[in-house]
Amino acid sequence: MASTVTDNERSTPADRRSRLRPGKNGKLALGPLPELVGYNLRKAQVAVFQSFQNAVAPHDITPGQFGVLIMIRENEGLSQSDLGTAVGIDRSTMVAVIDRLESRGLVVRAPSPNDRRSYALRLSPEGQTLMDDLIPRVQAHDQGMVKDLSPEEQAQFIDFLRRVSRSK
């Protein structure tokens, strides 16, 4: 049985610009997409990222930058290389992310006391203040995304996502 979606339910600008036009009933046939894990994960990711952007809008922080700032906050003195490995970002991309956060005054790079070839990262006072504001906003956003799930279902959902992410 093919699922359908209305124009308003399409999730990406590319979908809205699509040359496909809905049929007479106003719905676009999706074929097997609604039963595919990847399709549903992508739709959920778009919803989560849009909600995240709304929650942190005044601060111009992406979900990836937030994750990097959390890792630095929780692991002061972490090297860029170790941070990149932990968050799954290649070296050149990590340098660019840290450059951006440093130029905004959120992160401080200092020579590593253990390795002259690397930097030890820490949050600046501005970065710490920002995180003190962002963490409750992001936690509230996160809870809003799963508000229709019981606490047990939320834990199960996170477990399922972790298991999927490990199955590469």
Please give the average per-residue pLDDT across 127-135, as a whole number.
97
H or E segment at 147? none
Could you tell me if 10 and 49 lie in one domain?
A: no
In angstroms, the CA 15 to CA 11 distance is 7
Output the average pLDDT for the chain.
Answer: 87
Could you tell me if 80 and 13 lie in one domain?
A: no
Q: Are 12 and 37 in contact (CB under 8 A)?
A: no
In angstroms, the CA 134 to CA 137 distance is 5
For residue range 27-66, what is the model confidence (pLDDT) as tens digits? 899 999 999 999 999 999 999 999 999 999 989 999 999 9
Could you tell me if 31 and 41 lie in one domain?
A: no
Could you tell me if 91 and 18 lie in one domain?
A: no
Tokens representing residue 111 in the block: 């020579």
pLDDT exceeds 60 at position 15: no
For residue range 101-111, what is the model confidence (pLDDT) as tens digits? 999 999 999 88
How many Cα atoms within 13 Å fall on the side-chain side of residue 56?
A: 25
Q: How many domains does the chain have?
A: 2
From first CA to last CA, the distance across the chain in angstroms is 30
pLDDT number for residue 10: 47
Task: Show the domain range for 78.
Answer: 37-168
pTM recorded for the entire structure: 0.77
Could you tell me if 122 and 166 lie in one domain?
A: yes
